[in-house]
């Protein structure tokens, strides 16, 4: 399981992704115990039946993003690279593995941030509304065929769908009752 940076390769859902997430979660909980508030498996690898790029996405909720330099120091020995906020101001993004074999992404954010609610709501909504999983899979496959070597265009092509699902989820869920 790994993917070269910048390309798009979708594979069918794999039951092993959950155990791979759990292994990384154990490591992160041990290493970052003084910083973590909660941790979640997010992204397409976390949604049963959804095709995905073979990279595990993790939402790591920490007390304060100001602790990122300390966290970066801890994670550097575990092959994680701090890639910065990547255009999302309430998040810091880390990638694990060399550029030709990324295996995990960590999205660090604070409790009650937009990133937190968007990630958790999106996943929950898809799980509770499977018709959207099929729609999302079809969109992803179409975009992957068009933009195999152009990850930014692939990602941009998903934005309207993601925004739609997040808006629907915010209508349905009360932020105080998310877990």
Sign for the pseudo-dihedral over CA of 88, 160, 51, 152: negative
* Distance linking the first and last C-alpha atoms of the chain: 29
Q: Residue 177: is its pLDDT beyond 70?
A: no
- CATH number, span 16-177: 3.30.460.10
Q: Residue 179: is its pLDDT beyond 90?
A: no
Question: pLDDT at position 6, please?
Answer: 77
In this prediction, residue 17 has a pLDDT band, given cuts at 50, 70 and 90, of very high
| Side-chain-facing half-sphere of 26: CA atoms under 13 Å | 5
Give residue for tokens 């932020």.
175
CA dihedral 91, 38, 59, 101 (to 10 degrees): 120
Higher pLDDT, 175 or 19: 19
Structural contact between residues 87 and 131, judged by C-beta atoms closer than 8 angstroms: no
Mean local confidence (pLDDT), 136-140: 97
φ, ψ at 56 (rounded to 5°): -80, 125
Token pair recorded at residue 81: 């690279």
In this prediction, residue 99 has a pLDDT band, given cuts at 50, 70 and 90, of confident
Give residue for tokens 């594979």.
11
In this prediction, residue 1 has a pLDDT band, given cuts at 50, 70 and 90, of low
CB count within 10 Å of CB 69 equals 8
pLDDT digits (tens, 9 = 90+) for 61-85: 999 999 999 999 999 999 999 999 9
Cut 0.95: pTM above it: no
Structural contact between residues 125 and 168, judged by C-beta atoms closer than 8 angstroms: yes
* d(C-alpha 166, C-alpha 119), whole Å: 8
Strand pairing partners for 58? 41, 106
Share of the chain above pLDDT 90, in %: 88
Share of the chain above pLDDT 70, in %: 96
Q: Residue 176: is its pLDDT beyond 60?
A: no
Structural contact between residues 1 and 18, judged by C-beta atoms closer than 8 angstroms: no
Question: pLDDT at position 175, please?
Answer: 57
């Amino acid at each position: 399981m790994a993917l070269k940076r910048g390309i798009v390769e979708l594979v069918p859902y794999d039951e092993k992704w959950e155990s791979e997430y759990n292994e990384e979660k154990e490591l992160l909980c041990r290493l970052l115990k003084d910083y973590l508030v909660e941790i979640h498996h997010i992204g397409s690898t976390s949604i049963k039946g959804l095709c995905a790029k073979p990279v595990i996405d993790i939402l790591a909720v920490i007390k304060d993003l100001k602790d990122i330099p300390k966290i970066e120091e801890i994670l550097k020995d575990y092959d994680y690279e701090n890639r910065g906020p990547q255009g999302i101001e309430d998040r810091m993004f880390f990638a694990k593995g060399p550029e030709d074999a990324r295996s995990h992404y960590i999205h660090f954010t604070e409790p009650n941030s937009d990133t937190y609610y968007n990630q958790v709501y999106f996943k929950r909504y898809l799980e509770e509304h499977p018709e959207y999983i099929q729609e999302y899979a079809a969109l992803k496959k179409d975009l992957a065929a068009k933009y195999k070597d152009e990850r930014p265009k692939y990602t941009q092509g998903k934005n309207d769908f993601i925004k739609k699902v997040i808006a629907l989820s915010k209508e349905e869920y009360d932020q105080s009752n998310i877990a």
